Chains A and B, each alone.
Chain A
Amino acid sequence: MTIARIVADKSLTDLMLAEKAAARYDLPIERLTKDELVAEITALPLEERYQLAKRTLFFTTRKGAFLSTCRCPSGADYRCCGYHTIQSVSGCPFDCSYCILQHYIGNNPFISVFTDRDAVEAELRAHLAKHHHIRVGTGELADSLALDDLLDESGFFLSMIARNGWEKQVTFEFKTKSDRVDTLIAAHQRHPAVDCVAGFTLTLDRFHATDEIDTAPVAARLHAAARCAAAGVRVAFHFDPLVMQEQFLDDYRLLATQALDAVPHEKIAWISLGGLRHTVSMTELIRRRWPASALTLGEMFPSADDHKLRPFAPLRRRFYRALRDEITDRFPAAPLYLCMEKEFMWEQVGITPPRFF
């Protein structure tokens, strides 16, 4: 993955990060408005759009709040883990078949870096005035560490937490499909009291090759997790999205054992399990952009509340139970949780929410 364009919003005055990027990639800084950049990119044929957009960094300021809650459908019977997200970057250099960011191709296709991230400090302060603790991360609309060597988000947020004395109030997760942990480890060494977690999304090797372009191979992610743990950084594993087709179950079991063998268990902050889920329109997009992907071939049905397709409930139960057994056989106190699942599924699978719920 190489960055091919550096664009700064015409109205942007703080060019520090854009200049750093320009120097790193030896590229000029172009000055365009978001609308002008969108018009340029959307004029391209669809697949070229994706390719260029994922290599374009757009430095701008954020129009709305940075801090938000995660995406469990409100009003439905989902057991939410209370996770919060900070959207300091929107867009990702990685290209995953199931990624919702593909839908943003029409109006926000590139990697937007919001340079006014200082505003997060006030938002976190306001949140902590009402709540004693927050579990938060940057990995919802971007990979937290894919560009960390350039943007130093880990250094920025860990230093913010330390400066404000929020070490006991904030648990900050950097969620990634990369193995780029050097900047995070260095930030942790500068601020060892800050509770930070390196979260690794784990997938089967077969999907890394076909459905997660430019991400790190699974073995490299596990090696990075081991490096984090050795450096004192707590680690999380996200088996999400699980592709729930019978023939993959044994491979997932093996992956779970590999993950648990990679790091000392006391360094594992949490482990999440989540079945592949996506909107109906994503199915069309996956079929069109990823014709070789096996992801749409399982038995998936729409849920009544959020209309997302999910694997057939008995199949989810089978996968979750099998992985729960595999994990708890080796690590009985594993802090396991299910992502975006309803109460009935938690009960049927027999997972008790970890303390942070």
Chain B
Amino acid sequence: MTAFLELLDKFNPKKNARAHAVELVTDISRRDGLSPDAVLEKVGASELLDRPGHPLENFDELVKRLEALRHPLWTAKKERLNALCARLAAKSGVTATYPSFAEGDTVTLTLKVKSAADLTERLAALDREKDIVEKILKELNE
């Protein structure tokens, strides 16, 4: 068994999760011309293995880091979109949902109300913060 597989197995991952991680490492390795061991080093696998906590939680973190490395464009866009959505929610109480993988040009806005007065207040808040909605839409179009 190669070193990178031995390292992955030290996390005791479930079979499917392990296969997914191997696929991610292999793809990144081929795409970037790195050895699988170098890929794992890049995402700090050894450090995660030694980290306190349940090995499976650490394995989840490892997969998350590998996915970010495998899909850098989507990871970056998701972070920007999530930050904007969180800002909108904090300032207006309105939840913005963008299409999966930015596959679309519309955003769904959801607001919860329990009275007509609530609705007026939410809509006024949304109106004040519409520049954030505009930024989300712009992000989807870039």
Please list the residues of chain A having a beta carbon within 8 angstroms of any beta carbon in chain B. Answer: 294, 296-297, 299, 301-304, 310, 312-315, 342, 344, 347-348
Asked if B102 and A313 make an inter-chain contact with CB atoms under 8 angstroms apart, the answer reads yes
Interface size class of B (residues with CB under 8 A): 10 to 19
Instruction: Name the residue of chain B whose CB is nearest to the CB of A310.
Output: B103
Choose, from B69-77, B86-94, B118-126, the stretch at the interface: B69-77
A286 to chain B, nearest CB (A): 12
* 7 smallest beta-carbon distances between A and B, as pairs: A301-B101, A344-B105, A297-B31, A299-B71, A313-B103, A313-B102, A312-B73
Say whether, besides A296-B27, A312-B74, A301 and B141 are in contact (CB < 8 Å).
no
Complex CA gap A136/B104 in Å reads 30
10 further interface pairs, Cβ-Cβ under 8 Å (given A303-B103, A314-B102, A342-B104)? A296-B27, A299-B70, A299-B72, A299-B73, A301-B74, A312-B71, A312-B73, A312-B74, A312-B102, A315-B73
Complex CA gap A289/B35 in Å reads 22
A54 to chain B, nearest CB (A): 27
Chain B residues near A315 (CB-CB < 8 A)? 73
Q: Is B142 part of the binding interface, using a Cβ–Cβ cutoff of 8 Å? A: yes
Interface-central residue, B74, B103, B104, by most chain A CB under 10 Å: B103
Chain B residues near A297 (CB-CB < 8 A)? 27, 30-31
Complex CA gap A301/B78 in Å reads 13
Complex CA gap A317/B31 in Å reads 22
Q: Is B115 part of the binding interface, using a Cβ–Cβ cutoff of 8 Å? A: no
Interface string of B33-77 (1 = CB under 8 A from A): 000000000000000000000000000000000000011111001
Asked if A344 and B104 make an inter-chain contact with CB atoms under 8 angstroms apart, the answer reads yes
Say whether, besides A297-B27, A297-B30, A348-B141, A314 and B73 are in contact (CB < 8 Å).
yes
Q: Is B100 part of the binding interface, using a Cβ–Cβ cutoff of 8 Å? A: yes
Complex CA gap A313/B140 in Å reads 9
A212 to chain B, nearest CB (A): 19
Chain B residues near A301 (CB-CB < 8 A)? 74, 100-101, 103
Chain A residues near B106 (CB-CB < 8 A)? 344
Q: Which of B111-142 contact A (CB under 8 A)?
A: 141-142
Complex CA gap A303/B100 in Å reads 8
Interface-central residue, B27, B73, B77, B142, by most chain A CB under 10 Å: B73
Contact of A314 among B30, B31, B77 (CB under 8 A): B77
A340 to chain B, nearest CB (A): 13
Complex CA gap A292/B105 in Å reads 35
Complex CA gap A315/B76 in Å reads 13
Asked if A312 and B30 make an inter-chain contact with CB atoms under 8 angstroms apart, the answer reads no
Asked if A348 and B105 make an inter-chain contact with CB atoms under 8 angstroms apart, the answer reads yes
Asked if B103 and A299 make an inter-chain contact with CB atoms under 8 angstroms apart, the answer reads no
Chain B residues near A310 (CB-CB < 8 A)? 103
Complex CA gap A137/B70 in Å reads 38
B23 to chain A, nearest CB (A): 8
**Between-chain CB contacts (< 8 Å), 27 pairs:** A294-B31, A296-B27, A297-B27, A297-B31, A299-B70, A299-B71, A299-B72, A299-B73, A299-B74, A301-B74, A301-B100, A301-B101, A301-B103, A303-B103, A304-B100, A304-B103, A310-B103, A312-B71, A312-B73, A312-B74, A312-B101, A313-B103, A313-B104, A314-B142, A315-B73, A344-B105, A348-B141
Complex CA gap A301/B104 in Å reads 13
Chain B residues near A348 (CB-CB < 8 A)? 105, 141
Complex CA gap A315/B103 in Å reads 11
Chain A residues near B77 (CB-CB < 8 A)? 314
Chain A residues near B72 (CB-CB < 8 A)? 299
Instruction: Name the residue of chain B whose CB is nearest to the CB of A245.
Output: B31
B98 to chain A, nearest CB (A): 11
A249 to chain B, nearest CB (A): 13
Complex CA gap A310/B103 in Å reads 10
Chain A residues near B105 (CB-CB < 8 A)? 344, 347-348
Chain B residues near A344 (CB-CB < 8 A)? 104-106
A325 to chain B, nearest CB (A): 17
Chain B residues near A296 (CB-CB < 8 A)? 27
Interface-central residue, A299, A301, A313, by most chain B CB under 10 Å: A313
Chain B residues near A294 (CB-CB < 8 A)? 30-31
Complex CA gap A310/B141 in Å reads 17
B82 to chain A, nearest CB (A): 16
Asked if A313 and B31 make an inter-chain contact with CB atoms under 8 angstroms apart, the answer reads no
